[in-house]
């Protein structure tokens, strides 16, 4: 199930720490290699010797220990691992994760880890329901951390309620299911555009828009996580990509984006145009800086090529084409018009009237319409979660 995976298991100081031994055994049985990072409190509940004997690896628990292989062990370990599981995760360690506090081996490693993280919380039911814990958990979820919900049951403190750490078998099943999905788009070529385009007026000035590229980049990361080969064509943004399955092409103007899209579209299975492409460009760009004159210059604009519409006209039945529509009024009507006129399979609508949706925000609120008349409405979510909703919707429809 997890064959060949290198797993960092973080253990924090809860009574469920004793179950870690079973979890390590199950992970190894399913083909994974496990290295443990424990907090000092965790080692009050379970011995280092038990963890080292079962994992067959040294336990990392002291950032400044003399016998660390490297002075920056948290970096070496996080480079080594493919994924991280933290079980049990106490309210305290979750609070540190959510607030970027790095004061021990586990919290420091968390900050240095930029791959998939799975957290199995364990705490008293009143702590689990506390608004601070709830806020921390939802913040981590919105940043792509996977939570394995704590079930109800008898707790070590005598209470009966939500907060038990999920059983090791269930943790294994949860993580295994995630990686089953990982390869669902293996072999598929996905083309994504992101960010704004800049139309130069002269060598120092341009006409642009407020797109940050966050939605397109979140889509690229998510599709790459699902195993697709992603080509990301990005306008000028200050974002980086993580997944090695993403090949990035940087462009500036609408015309450069068009040229790149046309070259790559033929080999594309799924194309998602999330970029905010300029509808107009400058008729005659000045090669030298335009000087301040008494008479203000008049800049003549001419239309750019509608990339999405061009791809829609070229599209074969095997290709899926997805557009975005950012609207301020008559949202649904306008989106449906674009779906039809650009020959799309799906259109993702976001309205500037929705609080927290659109340019610059970490969040977005979307609805999806498809050419067969189906639709789905989603609540306000982080752009990472929105990327997942869009991918799930497309994949479901691919199956149909």
List the catalytic residues: 157
Name which of 106 and 308 has its Cβ closer to ligand CTP. 308
Residue (of 323, 343, 297, 132) closest to 201 by Cα position? 297
Nearest to 266 by CA among 209, 314, 195: 314
Choice between 44 and 279, CB closer to ligand CTP: 279
Q: How far apart are CA 107 and CA 97, in angstroms?
A: 6
Burial of 392 (0-12, 13-18, 19+ CB in 10 A): middle
Q: Toward ligand CTP, which CB reaches closer, 220 or 307?
A: 307
Q: CA 170 to CA 49: how far, in whole Å?
A: 25
Please, which residue, 251 or 308, has the CB nearer to ligand CTP? 308
Which is closer to ligand CTP, CB of 148 or CB of 254? Answer: 254
| From 33-41, 68-76, 306-314, 368-376, span contacting ligand CTP (CB under 6 A) | 306-314
276 to 305, contacts with ligand CTP by CB under 6 A?
277, 279, 304
Question: Rounded to the nearest whole angstrom, what is the least distance from the CB of residue 304 to ligand CTP in the complex?
Answer: 5
> CA-to-CA distance for 274 and 232, rounded, in angstroms?
10
Residues 217-256 that bind ligand CTP (CB under 6 A): 254
In the complex, the smallest distance separating the C-beta of residue 219 from ligand CTP, rounded to whole angstroms, is 12
Nearby residues of 368 by Cβ (< 8 Å), 6 or more positions away:
346, 347, 348, 349, 375, 376, 378, 389, 390, 393
One residue of 273, 357, 391, 394 binding ligand CTP per CB under 6 A: 273
Q: How far is the CB of 325 from ligand CTP (least distance, A)?
A: 4
Q: Choose the stretch contacting ligand CTP; rule: CB under 6 A; options: 67-75, 175-183, 203-211, 271-279.
A: 271-279
**286 CB contacts (<8 Å, ≥6 apart)?**
201, 202, 203
- Crossing angle, helix 383-399 and helix 214-225, to 10 degrees? 50
Is residue 214 close enough to count as binding ligand CTP by CB under 6 A?
no
Q: Taking the complex as a whole, how short is the minimal distance between the CB of residue 199 and ligand CTP, in angstroms?
A: 11
Give the per-residue contact string, 312-331, with ligand CTP (x = CB under 6 A; - = no): -----------xxxx-----
Would you say 265 and 314 are in contact if contact means Cβ atoms under 8 Å apart? yes
Residues near ligand CTP, by CB under 6 A: 254, 273, 275, 277, 279, 304, 306-308, 323-326, 338
């Amino acid at each position: 199930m997890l064959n060949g995976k290198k797993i960092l298991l973080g253990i924090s100081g809860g009574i469920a720490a004793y179950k870690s031994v079973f979890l390590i055994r199950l992970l190894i049985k399913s083909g994974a290699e496990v290295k443990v990072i424990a907090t000092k409190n965790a080692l009050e509940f379970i011995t280092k010797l038990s963890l080292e004997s079962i994992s067959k690896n040294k336990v990392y628990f002291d950032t400044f220990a003399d016998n660390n292989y490297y002075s920056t062990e948290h970096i070496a370990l996080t480079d080594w691992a493919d994924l991280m599981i933290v079980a049990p995760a106490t309210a305290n360690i979750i609070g540190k994760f959510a607030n970027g506090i790095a004061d021990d081996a586990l919290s420091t490693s968390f900050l240095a880890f930029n791959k998939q993280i799975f957290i199995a919380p364990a705490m008293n039911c009143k702590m689990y329901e506390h608004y601070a814990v709830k806020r921390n958990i939802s913040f981590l979820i919105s940043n792509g951390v996977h939570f394995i919900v704590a079930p109800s049951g008898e707790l070590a403190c005598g209470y009966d309620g939500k907060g038990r750490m999920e059983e090791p078998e269930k943790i294994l099943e949860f993580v295994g299911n995630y990686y089953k999905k990982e390869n669902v788009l293996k072999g598929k070529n996905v083309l994504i555009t992101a960010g704004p385009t800049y139309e130069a007026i002269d060598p120092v000035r341009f006409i642009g828009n407020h797109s940050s590229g966050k939605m397109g980049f979140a889509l690229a990361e998510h599709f790459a996580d699902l195993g697709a080969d992603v080509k990301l064509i990005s306008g000028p943004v200050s974002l980086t990509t993580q997944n090695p399955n993403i090949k990035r092409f940087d462009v500036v103007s609408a015309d450069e984006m068009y040229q790149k899209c046309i070259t790559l579209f033929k080999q594309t299975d799924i194309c998602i145009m999330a970029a905010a492409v300029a509808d107009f460009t400058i008729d005659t760009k000045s090669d030298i800086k335009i000087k301040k004159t008494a008479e203000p210059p008049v800049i003549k604009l001419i239309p750019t090529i509608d990339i999405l519409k061009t791809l829609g006209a070229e599209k074969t039945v095997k290709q899926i084409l997805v557009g975005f529509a950012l609207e301020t009024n008559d949202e649904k009507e306008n989106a449906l018009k674009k779906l039809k006129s650009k020959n799309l399979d799906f259109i993702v609508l976001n309205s500037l009237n929705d609080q927290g949706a659109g340019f610059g925000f970490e969040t977005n609120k979307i609805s999806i319409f498809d050419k067969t008349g189906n639709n789905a409405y989603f609540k306000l979510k982080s752009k990472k979660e929105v990327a997942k909703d869009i991918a799930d919707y497309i994949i479901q429809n691919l199956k149909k």
